[in-house]
Chains A and B, each alone.
Chain A
Amino acid sequence: MDIEADYDHSLPEVMLTYYRRLYPFRPIFTWLNHDHTPTRLFTHREWAFTLAGDVYLRYNSFATAEDLKKQVCDLNPTRFEIGPVYSARPRDRKTVRPSAFQPVQRELVFDLDMTDYDPIRTCCSDADICKRCWAFITAAVRVLDPAIRDQFGYEHLLWVYSGRRGIHLWISDKEALDLTDQERKAIVGWMTVVNSGKDSNKRLSVRTSSKSLPAPLQNVLENLKHTFTTLILRDQDLFASNEAAAALLEHIPDQEIVEKVKTNWINSACSTSEAKWVELLKTVRSSKSSDILQAAMEDIILYYTYPRLDAEVSKHRNHLLKAPFCVHPKTGRVCVPVDPEKVEEFDPEAVPTVAQLLRELDSITPATNSEESGNEHHHSDWEKTSLKPYVDLLNRHASSLMEKTRLEKRTQGSMAW
């Protein structure tokens, strides 16, 4: 703690050094812009800055990545957010007619937050997160990433750790950028199985009149059964507590069965989640009205393991979302991209903090030098730190977007010919 005190991320000069020397402005630019030279995707894009003392500056826009960097270094915000592409430059907002200033494009974004999982996790609560509850996020990514690719055909998905207790998904496919609010609402409706938030009830409204699960959910159910066993029953041991066990039984629509299960739990002295679950399964299988109960058992698996989305974030084009590589003001951790292929290996507690990164810089450049060369470009300083693999990930992602743009230009060119 003593060594880190020098680089407390709440100190303005620490953040300023991070922005000057480490923040990957150029990769962020290419990711948003899909091209080397600035397009409307960048120049008409809203940026919002949060300054110390909760000052919030909206409707900033920039011509180039360098402009953005200059402004960030001048304002030295605690964090900043990325908004939609408007029909005019956001900074010119006051000089155009209101009807000429409308959000027109925006990455499709999703937000998963551990607080929505509070009723079903035992290791932490509220803002805390550990390697164990990251397993819920892992399970969510494992469901959403392939589903979005397969069902909607989107290819350019960027997962970003939110710096504390959640994960964001940014989808940059052309069609996704163009989605209207109504279409965003539709995709959220399609993706939502468990209603989170204060109105959450345990009924899942996913069954069609045929009473069977729709195909996409049938397919994920098999994987989620595994998650249910390893995560809910074993690791979290959720139903060990009497409240959680009682909550589990609320999903069973047959009061007779519920009473039987309760008795069996006492008689067989079931204390662990796994023992309780096995007993429940046995009782259900021995009963007659199996169709309804079978459905209820499937719904239980979905309820405890299916991704819980914060729907409001996704529904509106003009929602602002924290930019990747910002520093979380509470934890000091950088909001780094996450490789969905290796999401199991990701450890939120191992994500670099600003303090750690600045110390790494010190070990390669003497601190005295960095003071004097404050205004020089440090394009690749991040390469010398543990930020590198994360910036590389963003760069690879941005390259695939630029490649797509290049191919589109070529197709258009040949058609004009």
Chain B
Amino acid sequence: MDLRQSVRIGLIELRSNKLGSFLTMLGVIFGVAAVIASVAIGAGAREQAMEQIAQLGITNIRVRPLVLEGQERVSADQQNPDGLSLVDVKAIAANCPFAHRIAPIREITATPRVAGRTINGTLLAVTPDYRFIVNFHPVRGRFIADLDMNAAEKVCVLGAEVAEDVFGDAVWETISGQWIQIGMDIFRVIGVMEDKRSVSTRASTISVRNINRDIYIPFSVAEKRLRGVNGESALTELIIDIRQRRDVRQAADLIGTILDRTHGGVRDFELVVPLDLLRQAQATQRRFNMVLAAIAAISLLVGGIGIMNIMLASVTQRTREIGIRRALGATRRDIQTQFLLEAVILSLVGGIIGIFAGVILGAIIAHYAGWNTVFSFKAIILSVLVAATVGVAAGLFPARRAAGLHPIEALRYE
């Protein structure tokens, strides 16, 4: 007996009991929908985490000062009143062979203005290496150069959004050489940075600043002219670029040791290692996947039991039909195939509805929670295969029972 005919017979059967078939499919529908939606959400979260980690720089180590409280603060003030400083930069450069470049960053709390108008931007004093370490480059003009550093030139480079705010869509020629007032000094605009709008809008454990709102000035200028504007001699952040990715972990430990020494044992800093964050994200992802798999397995198991249940009922209901088919020449195998196929159709249709439901569900969640979702073709194929397997597993026992019926007893069944 050909497969197409079996499928047709199966469809006629299932269509004759639409509501029952649908209710039976619910388990599979939920199972598959849960898998599709959560795989999409998981993949979206993962992509986002990766993006943010990549933005931090995978071979970078960041050192940030910690604000201490109480007794710790007292001892920190005694042992290491400068906090994170250029002393640390020198110590790391001298003692950490893994370090390729080191970028000290100091945030200046002065308000930048243009023609008396306040600009919404973050002032950062950086060295020329900064752009290589964070892989962030100017699109117009140039970045801070060694010359600017040595001469402590009062120049600045604007982030894309800052430039847009201040100059609108003016051409570079009219922007170049304009002046920005910071504190008591005026700074010449020498460049505009590329637009690195973060794709993500979703809140995340790894916070990434909007670097499009940064304004960069030479570090040496901050050191000489802006020192003491707010009494800051300390660094806001220290980024160390490690030559080899495989050395990052070891380098982080070494830098921790060096800083402990320069800070007299006071832990007034924290080390942020994006590579560690990546590993954490991956571990979280694995746990998430496991929970997901468990939920899916339970839903599909329940769905499978539902299908088995209705198939057993169907075998009883259609005992006479089985007898008639046997009298007309159906072999045991024909009967088994027919019922097995019905179970598979049931779960496959459920699976396909589940895929649509999952995509819609994922889209709704993504829309309302503001999460990223990534729908993968692989997950969809996998769902179809799993649904088919559930159908076979659930249908086998009822199908065997149907095939095992004695023709005469089946024909006599009332």
Asked if A and B are interacting partners, one says: no
Which A residues fall within an 8 A CB radius of B?
none
Which B residues fall within an 8 A CB radius of A?
none
